[in-house]
Structure 1
Amino acid sequence: MKFDNPQLIKYIKGCTSPYHTVDTSLQLLVDAGFTELSLEEPWSLTTGNYVVNVYGTTLFAFHIGEDYRHSLRIASAHTDFPAIRVKPNPITDVKGYTKLNVEMYGGLIQNTWLDRPLGAAGTVVLKGDNPYDVESVLVDTKRPIAIIPNLAIHMNRNVNDGVALNRQKEMLPIIMMNQQGSDTTKSEVDEWNTFLAEEVNCDPSEILSYEITLYPVTEGILVGTEFDFISSPRLDNLTSCFGALSGIVEAKKNKVDGIRCAVLFDNEEVGSRTKQGGAGMLLPNLLERVYRSLGLSRDDMDMDVARGFMISSDVAHGLHPNYPEKNDITNFPVLNGGVTLKQAASQSYAGDAMAIAIVKGLCEEANVKYQIYVNRSDIVGGSTVGSISSSMLPMRTMDIGLPLLAMHSAVETMGACDQEQLNRLMQHFLGDE
């Protein structure tokens, strides 16, 4: 597979929920020759390339070279993104309009979601022979089924002065007209379950639960007089997932020694404190399982962790030309300026002087452009999974990412040249000795 901009846009199109990010990524790796493993079965590992689907929304891929102990390198990213999630019992009617009761997932910029056609994607869980034998089925409408209409300026003359949107009132999407014109809140086993049943080809009574994300159906596109930009939903953080995948595929291609891993965590946008998130024991447990299966000890793993390295990739705040004062006065990444090394004295971004030096050296070896991001001292920035996951697996770690404009908007903007730089770094990091 080519890891270029057209393939990035195609990848993002397929990754409409964390479940679909894992499914799309898994298929990409299987097609590249990786062997799928199950958490529920014993592993018998040797030199080769493997991938694990972890609870549907996290992915763990790894390459084992002939010399297992040569080096341990890990690239991480996250599969989730700010979005709108459908609640249980979601149907409510107002004067004939059927609406969905929803909640916000992560820190999305709410007004950017107004007036955008929204599709629905995620998983539907169906009854089995017993309570533990249930079936999870992916669903993606691949078409708009909802929209959150703005209020006309004639009814809100101050709208251009800024409007605070109430999440429970103004952020509910409409999905259809109810010909009965009633004002009711209906049970879950109603229009919504009937709709989901049609999408997955089952009877509504078979549906036990679901986890459904609403997403903008807008597709990524090149923008600018010289096509300098990519405008797309979900650049945060599918750009990093795409880069990590390019690196682990390169490790397989080059048959490098050591153990090289790519882990795509879920739930970064809500704190990572889940069984499939970076704030848990998932990564240490999976890594220990790899070492045990290779006949290596916990001491072997601890020594390799101590001399290993992890790159945590998540997007960074590019300098906004309309708000240049929002960035630090000397450390401000720009679009098409290359990979961003993210630093913070608070350790909201992982890294120390040694880690910074290592990644700079890797960039120079791979001819990758890099720049530095530090928050303005009077603005609290975001955080990411790097510091969290490295506290659970005490490995030297550096946070990096691509600079974006409008991070957490329904549609974000990146430099069209930057993905190649990230891919090149990941391919060098995971795919070279």
Structure 2
Amino acid sequence: MGFYEEDVKGLVRFLADSPTAFHAVDHFARMLEEHGYHGLAERERWQIRPGGKYYTVRNGSSIIAFQVGETLEDYSFKVTASHSDAPTFRVKERAELTVKGQYTRLNTEGYGSILCSTWMDRPLSVAGRVIVRKDGGYREELVKIGRDLVLIPSVAIHMDRDVNEKSAFNKQVDMLPLFAGSADHAQGSLAGIVAEELGVDEAEIFGMDLYLYNRMQPSIWGKEGEFISAPRLDDLQSAYTSFTGFLRGADAGAVNVFACFDNEEVGSNTKQGARSTFLRDVLERINEGLGKTQEELRCALASSFMASCDNAHAVHPNHPEKTDENNCVYMNGGIVIKSHAGQQYTSDAFSIAVWKGICRKAGVPVQFFANRSDMRGGSTLGNIAMSQVSMNAVDIGLAQLAMHSSYETAGVRDIDYMIRAVEAFYDSGIREYTLGSRE
């Protein structure tokens, strides 16, 4: 069996294993360890050597890995950046709400721009990070309740006759999941389930970052098995494929960097988001660890390149009018290059040319996406990250349907396309990404 089939299976396993950003980053860290990467703690001094392979994690939900080339007299960085989070519902600290002594609901709030209707009438559960206090210290534990635990019920059409003509949902009223059929034991019961799952006393739990997740497993479907549907394809599909390409690529004359940030769906304004100092801190510490000066760092950044990897909107089969007439993309059509006049995407003529050249070298098709000029589009982390550390950058992704649904759809063949393109990027000599001076 070739890389293609194995990579599809690998993505399916990763999606099933990653109900939250914490789990996705933990999965990446374990894979890096298996490939000989050495973990570095930000609070400790780093020892960096040419030819070394390293990674560091911030907040348990963002990760940066890097391969250091062996001949770095005149070096640069090659970076891919993606995000680990997805729209969902966060469980509030005081979680249980009772209804007339008969039902118990979980008190939640929306995280990101959620397609609310897709979360209703399907099995859900709870996962996230738990802080446990034991022996005078704190430790972090990941939890994933692996059973159908809650459900958000729709209102019957007999009680809401115009439901099919409206699409307004109140997140404090309509979107709270049903958790239990009796309020008798409600207080603390979710924490009790979490404690039992972790094998600790409930009194030892001092903090929880818990989220709802869709229990539906990833599915490969279509006439020829050409589609994949799963929770959190935005952006775990791009994160996994760029990570796989990173593991396979190598360049002795550069530092190859894989970055996956948390909190893109809520603006990236956190210590672990793309707008934080995380990427800049890591690049500066690499430069310092190699014994190089600040001037050499500035030279390196000026000749560096980043690919911001975040999925894109495919033409909808029932609503092709929602996309631009000819700057539109299709699933299984290849890598999407995104651009925007207002710089919501970081692509420009130079970075587009570079990425087209990389894809041509890899034998991978490209597509071009721009929003309709009369519709507001989304944004991504490329320009946000570049506000902290500047280099040439392009916004790319893979075409998908139902972005921000609890169950999204994308193309199976695009998995291979992205891996091959990213591997070619990390394999290529860095100097071809430097724009020549006009003299």
TM-score where L is the length of structure 2: 0.94
2:174 to 170, 174, 194: 170
Residue of structure 1 equivalent to 2:86: 81
Aligned with 2:132 (options 105, 126, 130):
126
1:56 corresponds to 2:60: yes
Q: Which amino acid is 1:155 matched to?
A: M
C-alpha separation between the residues in 2 aligned to 1:332 and 1:283? Answer: 31
1:218-272, CA deviations, whole angstroms, 9 ceiling, x for partnerless residues?
1111111111211111100001111221122113xx4633100000000000000
Say yes or no: does 1:259 pair with 2:255.
yes
Q: Secondary structure at the match of 2:9?
A: helix
Report the 3-state secondary structure (helix = DSSP H, G, I; strand = E; otherwise coil) of the residue aligned with 2:387. helix
Q: Report the 3-state secondary structure (helix = DSSP H, G, I; strand = E; otherwise coil) of the residue aligned with 2:131.
A: strand
Partner of 1:401: 397
Inter-CA distance 175–292: structure 2 relative to 1 (3 Å threshold)? same
Distance 1:255 1:166 in 2: 51
Letter in 1 for 2:235: N
Distance 2:343 2:251 in 1: 35
The AA in structure 2 aligned to 1:75 is T
Determine the C-alpha separation between the residues in 1 that align with 2:76 and 2:394.
17
Could you tell me which of 21, 26, 31 is aligned with 2:29?
A: 26
Contact 1:124 1:207 in 2 (8 A): yes
> The residue matched to 2:420 in structure 1 has which SS?
helix
* Matched-pair contact (CA < 8 Å) for 2:104–2:180: yes
Correspondent of 2:235 among 210, 234, 237? 237
Q: Which residue of 2 aligns with 1:420?
A: 416
- CA distance in 1 between counterparts of 2:126 and 2:120 reads 16
Partner of 2:151: 147
CA distance in 2, matches of 1:432, 1:144: 46
- After TM superposition, list the pairs within 5 Å mapping 1:349-360 onto structure 2: 349-360=345-356
RMSD across aligned C-alpha pairs, in angstroms? 1.5
Which of residues 47, 50, 54 is equivalent to 1:44? 47
2: CA distance, partners of 1:59 / 1:288: 16
Question: How many Å separate the matches in 2 of 1:301 and 1:430?
Answer: 19
Q: Percent identity?
A: 37
Residue aligning to 2:309: 313
Letter in 1 for 2:159: M
Structure 1, 396-405 or 48-57: larger mean CA deviation? 48-57
Distance 2:271 2:295 in 1: 25
Cα deviation digits, residues 12-41 of structure 1 (max 9, x gap) = 111110100100111111111111111121
Return 63-72 or 146-155, whichever deviates more.
Answer: 63-72
Contact 2:251 2:426 in 1 (8 A): no
Partner of 2:116: 110
CA distance in 1, matches of 2:213, 2:253: 40
Residue 198 (structure 1) aligned with residue 199 (structure 2) = no
- Gaps in structure 2 of 5+ consecutive residues: 430-439
- 1:37–1:43 contact (8 Å) kept in structure 2: yes
Deviates more, 1:333-342 or 1:254-263: 254-263
* 2: CA distance, partners of 1:134 / 1:53: 17
Tell me, in whole angstroms, the C-alpha distance in 1 between the residues paired with 2:77 and 2:396. Answer: 19
After the TM superposition, which of the residue ranges 359-368 and 240-249 deviates more from structure 2?
A: 240-249
Distance in 2, matches of 1:292 and 1:205, equals: 44
Q: Which runs of 5+ in 1 are unaligned?
A: none
Number of positions where the alignment pairs a residue of Structure 1 with one of Structure 2: 423
- Matched letter for residue 355 of structure 1: S
Name which of structure 1's ranges 155-164 and 364-373 shifts more when overlaid on structure 2.
155-164
Residue 137 of structure 1 corresponds to: 141
1:143 and 1:52 map into 2 onto residues whose CA distance is 32
The answer on 1:338 being equivalent to 2:334 is: yes
Q: Which runs of structure 1 show a deviation greater than 3 angstroms over 4 or more consecutive aligned residues?
A: none
Give yes or no for the alignment of 1:365 onto 2:361: yes
